[in-house]
Amino acid sequence: MAATEAPSNEQVYKVPLKVFVDRNENKVLFAEARKDFVDVLLSFLALPLGTIARLVAKESNIPPVKVGSLSSLYESVSHIEEEHLWTKTCKEMLLHPRTSMESYCQLLKLNIDDTHPTKYFLCEDLGCSRKTNGSLLSIFNNQRCSCGKLMNRIVYPEVITLQKGFVKETATFIICDDLSVLPNVLVTIVNLLQNLGVKDMGAIEEQTVDISKREVVDLLKLSLISKNPLTDFVFEKKPRVDDFNPINQSWFERGDESPDEGRKIVVRVLVRKSNEKIVFADAEEDFADLVLSFLTLPLGGVLHMLEGNSCLSCIDKLYKSISELSPDRYLRSQIIKEELANPKCAPLFSISDQILPIGEVSLPVYYCNTFIHGKERHVICSTSPRPRIYGYDMSSRLEIFDPKSCIGDSRSGKGFAKGPSTFVVTDDLAVTPMSSISAVSFLNRSQVPLYDLEERVISIGVKEGLGILKASLTSTSALTEGLKHLIRPLNRRTVHSLAI
């Protein structure tokens, strides 16, 4: 947000947060929070990784922060020319991915997700939407309808009800320094103080901190880089990035020997022999799509796939809290609990050949109903056809327009990266179309002597995909970390001559 922009009422909305600090240690012991604060904390899990990369790259009270390899991936997408993606909407989808939990987050008083909420559009030609078959409904403005006209007639489907966040109105919570969310009961506090080894109760002091969206962005940043986000936040300590050395246990070191079946993506990687690091992968559009799709994955869905072990210790704690909060007294319903524990991709945001076990929320079936009022024909979108006896002159079932698809091109609609084509993916997941860079200048920039480079051919299945995804959260060497077990000297084929 530009500093010159006048803050609206909503932007300066503040929620008081009561924190209990140990004056001797300059440490936050815990915070006591109500719905407004806890809802926004839990909403972190609904944010797609691309949204997180975008939000933490902005100034707040603390400087911009980079998240593992996601920040360079996000940055690279902002530089991809639209011609390398199936449609120009693909780029918008990757840079501003929607959350599938939009209906829960829109009413949050401290909602930090600045992505525009979903709107629905029909063809500008109402006659086209009145066809009995194959009329289209789009969730992006100005898509090209099958008739060639633009889809820019906004409609408001009736069934979209906004939910009031995640937790019950009257519930209160304890938030630990590591962002665990616990029920606010006396026993919890006693246990917590015992575990923290607090000896001098007299040194405990209560403070109130005002939380606006700006402070929530601070907390999001700290939750990704600090082990004690509340302490660092309240005492304005510099994020101690050096201290934050996640135990980056690889996905493969878990002794899980179950056979990895399913689709594989074959990529060629260039490894630097002297340090066994991947310099880059030379990949077709399927691997580029896998990496690009990371930006659309909700954080909670990533945690679900990684079984709660992301190596972002505070996010792991926050995620674990959901399983321990009862839907009878704390969360608004069992459904909310299940959705928060496993959020899916927003409608139409997943890629069709996704190897990762993440689903997509589907849109309901919508009907376009028209009626004449005065001299004009009006349109209403509903989930069931409207009968003629109520004055509707037509009702037709709408098909959902895939924003990743160019009308008339049967190969499209699968993913984001346009193929057949080659992409270069660097160790920190920057994705660049091969055609827009020169191989010579790229090798020059990587500063690796040619004799030190070696080619390996690797097939990537679900385990490898999860390995790269996990590493992307904390490491700027996501490919090397995620594929460590595959770049040992197997399948060795030295590059004697690089065709440059």
CB of 122 to Zn ion, least distance (A): 8
Is 145 or 381 the residue whose CB approaches Zn ion more closely? 145
What's the per-residue H, E or C state across 53-70? HHHHCCCCCCCCCCCCCH
Report the distance separating Cα 52 and Cα 220, nearest Å. 8
Determine the residue type at 458.
Answer: I
Is 202 or 408 the residue whose CB approaches Zn ion more closely? 408
3-state secondary structure of 9: coil
CB of 220 to Zn ion, least distance (A): 41
CB of 132 to Zn ion, least distance (A): 14
Give the angle 40-52-245 at the CA atoms, nearest 5°. 100
Is 40 or 128 the residue whose CB approaches Zn ion more closely? 128
**Both structure tokens of 10:** 């909503």
Report the distance separating Cα 478 and Cα 408, nearest Å. 37
Closest C-alpha among 192, 181, 178 to residue 227: 178
Closest C-alpha among 167, 169, 172 to residue 184: 172
Is 138 or 321 the residue whose CB approaches Zn ion more closely? 138
Residue of the chain from 145, 155, 398, 469 that contacts Zn ion (CB under 5 A): 145
Is 57 or 147 the residue whose CB approaches Zn ion more closely? 147
Total count of residues recorded for the chain:
500
Q: Which DSSP letter does residue 387 get?
A: P
Is 132 or 161 the residue whose CB approaches Zn ion more closely? 132
Site string for Zn ion, 459-488 (x = CB under 5 A): ------------------------------
| Count, residues near Zn ion per rule CB under 5 A | 5
3-state secondary structure of 73: helix
Residues 6+ apart with CB under 8 A from 54: 74, 95, 96
CB of 410 to Zn ion, least distance (A): 19
Is 123 or 295 the residue whose CB approaches Zn ion more closely? 123
CB of 160 to Zn ion, least distance (A): 23
> Is the preceding omega at residue 420 within 30 degrees of 0, hence cis?
yes
Q: Where are the beta strands (DSSP E) in 366-421?
A: 367-373, 376-382, 392-400
Residue 63 region by backbone torsions, left for phi larger than 0, else alpha for psi between -120 and 50, else beta: beta
Q: Where are the beta strands (DSSP E) in 401-441?
A: 422-426, 431-433
CB of 126 to Zn ion, least distance (A): 9
The region of 56-64, 145-153, 231-239, 274-282 touching Zn ion under the rule CB under 5 A is 145-153
The region of 40-48, 147-155, 328-336, 489-497 touching Zn ion under the rule CB under 5 A is 147-155
Is 379 or 434 the residue whose CB approaches Zn ion more closely? 379
Q: Which DSSP letter does residue 298 get?
A: B
Is 125 or 284 the residue whose CB approaches Zn ion more closely? 125
**Both structure tokens of 321:** 């809290």
CB of 144 to Zn ion, least distance (A): 9
Q: Is residue 147 involved in binding Zn ion (CB under 5 A)?
A: yes
For 499, other C-beta atoms within 10 Å of its C-beta total 5
Site string for Zn ion, 101-130 (x = CB under 5 A): ----------------------x----x--
DSSP per-residue letters across 348-365: T-S-TT--SS--BPPPPP
Closest C-alpha among 174, 217, 210 to residue 57: 217
3-state secondary structure of 264: coil
Is 145 or 283 the residue whose CB approaches Zn ion more closely? 145
Q: Is residue 175 involved in binding Zn ion (CB under 5 A)?
A: no
CB of 413 to Zn ion, least distance (A): 18
Site string for Zn ion, 178-217 (x = CB under 5 A): ----------------------------------------
CB of 156 to Zn ion, least distance (A): 19
CB of 145 to Zn ion, least distance (A): 3
Is 49 or 139 the residue whose CB approaches Zn ion more closely? 139
Per-residue burial over 146-160, b if 16 or more Cβ lie within 10 Å, else e, is bbeebbebebebeee
The region of 144-152, 204-212, 290-298, 347-355 touching Zn ion under the rule CB under 5 A is 144-152
CB of 125 to Zn ion, least distance (A): 5
Q: Is residue 137 involved in binding Zn ion (CB under 5 A)?
A: no
**Footprint of Zn ion on this chain (CB under 5 A)?**
123, 128, 145, 147, 149
